[in-house]
Each structure stands twice: as C-alpha cells, then as structure tokens.
Structure 1
C-alpha cells in the first residue's frame, strides 16, 4: 500500500512540474499584452477627463481593441467603466445612457488576477434619437490613454 501511495505522489509531482509548454505559452501571451498602467485624470468624481476622439474605427467596438480604463487592482474597475461612459456624448452632443450587458471575451493581460487572461465588460450605449444601441468593450484590468470611439463626442 505504501508503494502505491509513493507511486501516486511521484506521478503527481512529475505531472505538476513537467508542464514547460504552459509556462512558455503564458509568457508569450503576457509579452503580447504590453505594460498598460496609464494614469487617468478625472474631470470630477464621476467622469474621466478625455480630450481625444479615436481615429481607429475599431476602438471600443471590438474585444481586440477594447477601451482600457484600469482600476480593478484598486477596486475602482466598475467605477472607472462608468467614469469613462459618463465622459461620452452622442454624435450631436446628446446625453448617453448605458447598461452593462455582461462579461465576455478573454484577452491576455499581465494584470490578470488569476492566470494570464482577463474578461472584458460589454456595455450597451444609446442616446435620444438613436435607432439602436452600440456595444462598447471595456477592460478594467489594463489602462491606456482614453479616447471616445468614432461616432461619439465628449462631454
């Protein structure tokens, strides 16, 4: 019985320590995700100060080019998502309304709390007179310079 227990212990050790591929894959994924720890400025307690509109038509509209508001490590992630959305206005300056549709889309991040990927939040945004809602993907784990997506203006 002792031999079987010892054999199981050895097999467990070999299996747990023998995974070079996953460590290499994790390192490669994190290298792809640049160091993203940009410090944002606030307009007020509920709104980020944003001064630029994106020229890239995918900014915010695709998981691969999500808006990076940061703050998760300081328990400010959801508040930062709202601060970002509060800084936007519709194409003619209309006040926007939004709701969180849920989480999706694992993306590599060196700021992941577990593993090497984080989930994005998907917000549905609309304004008076719009024909439909718009999906905006937001990353609360990484932060980079904020811009308004194409089609939006700034408050």
Structure 2
C-alpha cells in the first residue's frame, strides 16, 4: 500500500527533473570577457545576425564571466554599451526570472535566466531581453539595438 502512495511523488520528481534540461544553444565556455571602456562598459563591436539572440530563452545573452555573486555588474556593463538604433539612451529594469537549466557553475547545479525590459525614446513597445549570468558566450548587440561609440 505504501508503495502505491509513493508512486505519484516519484513520477512528480522525474517530471520535475526533466524540466531542467539545458536548451540554451549559444553557450561558449571558451568565450572571453570583453574589454572595458573608461566608463567601465563592455566594448561591443558586433551586432548579432541571429534574430533570436537575446530575445529567446534558448539564445540568451550569456554574461557569466565572473562568479554569480558578482556577475550582476556585467548587466550594467552590457546595457551601458548599447543604445537604441539611432543612438538613443537606454533604460532597463529586471522584470522576471525564468527557465531553469543545469549549470556546473553553481553550487546548486542549476541556473535561471533573468528577463529585462529595455526602453528608449521613440520605442512603442519595450524589448524583452534574456540574460544568463551563469554561462559564457560571445557578447553582441541584439538586432535592432545600436552600439555606443
């Protein structure tokens, strides 16, 4: 009888574990952290040609070049290097977290993505950008964004 009572919990545990499969497609463990400007922003030189880069949970901006506890500074460095398409100043704020995935770079063995809303003057609807502070990848500007000079 006890075996039958434990069966639903076992099934639930198996289902929960499969939801943390790694679906992130653009992790690059060999990526190097970009250089910094005098203002301590990243030096970004390229815009992505992939329409999903930054806009899709499977293609987040991977900023995990430091231990997670201090990686939040990379969000500031990243957005500080970007502008609107015509040089407009950006504003951004974290609105949510989602999408657990396995990561060897944390004690817990899993990471989550942060979602930021980005705005600039003239933009009709905020852009939602997925940021990964656990893993590394090439740092580019998403399509539709400019790069500060």
State the TM-score, normalized to the length of structure 2. 0.75
Which has the greater radius of gyration? 1
After TM superposition, give the deviation of residue 104 of structure 1 in Å: 1.1
Gaps of 5+ in 2: 1-13
2:99 aligned to which of 98, 101, 105: 105
Aligned pairs for 1:3-152 within 5 A: 36=29, 38-40=31-33, 41-44=35-38, 46-73=40-67, 75-115=69-109, 117-152=110-145
RMSD of the TM alignment (CA)? Answer: 2.5
State the TM-score, normalized to the length of structure 1. 0.73
Q: In 2 relative to 1, CA 102–72 (structure 1 residues): closer, same or farther, beyond 3 Å?
A: farther
CA distance in 1, matches of 2:146, 2:85: 6
User: Does the 8 Å contact 2:28/2:137 carry over to 1?
Assistant: no
Corresponding pairs, count: 128
Structure that is richer in helix per residue: 1
Gaps of 5+ in 1: 1-20
After TM superposition, give the deviation of residue 46 of structure 1 in Å: 3.4
CA distance in 1, matches of 2:38, 2:118: 21
